A and B are shown apart, each in its own frame.
Chain A
Amino acid sequence: MDVLALEGSINTVGYGLAAIGPGIGVALVFAAYIQASARQPESAGFNRTWLVLGFALVEALALFGLVLAFAIG
């Protein structure tokens, strides 16, 4: 099959690939948060700040992909 003969926008494929990394990252962040607060329930409030920061940092990458998939024609 000639790959270059593909028609239409391939941006969705690119965004799909770009979402793999942040997907794993978000999973790691939440897994670590759950584990930490299960081991030390009293630290849940403190960990929450870092949960939000880590989630935001990781999710920003996924949203870059989302926005660029629409922005680049």
Chain B
Amino acid sequence: MADNPDREPSDAHSSEGVAGAVLGYLLAGILVWGFLGWLAEGFLGVPAGVGIAVGMMLGAAAAIYLIMKRLGA
């Protein structure tokens, strides 16, 4: 690819960028929703561990949805 300088600046993400972005999105999703779940656990008085588990799964699912929308197509 490097020997073709006239290549159109495409919208395709580079592999380094994609790998970094996938990891970052997943980590961000799990962290932020895990943290919110942990907070909710304290406020709502559900048994310890339930909130953080639900939050992390929700975060991971949202992150995967986001990844598919942003990078998948």
Contact = CB atoms under 8 A, between A and B. Distances in A.
A-B interaction: yes
Interface residues of A, number: 14
Given A49-B73, A67-B56, A71-B38, A56 B67 contact: yes
B34 A52 contact: no
Nearest to A55: B22
Interface residues of B, number: 21
Interface in A16-73: 49, 52-53, 55-57, 59-60, 63-64, 66-68, 71
Contacts of A68: 56
Contacts of B38: 71
Contacts of B34: 67, 71
A60 B30 contact: yes
B23 interface: yes
Interface of A: 49, 52-53, 55-57, 59-60, 63-64, 66-68, 71
**What are the 3 closest A-B residue pairs judged by CB atoms, nearest first?**
A60-B60, A49-B72, A56-B64
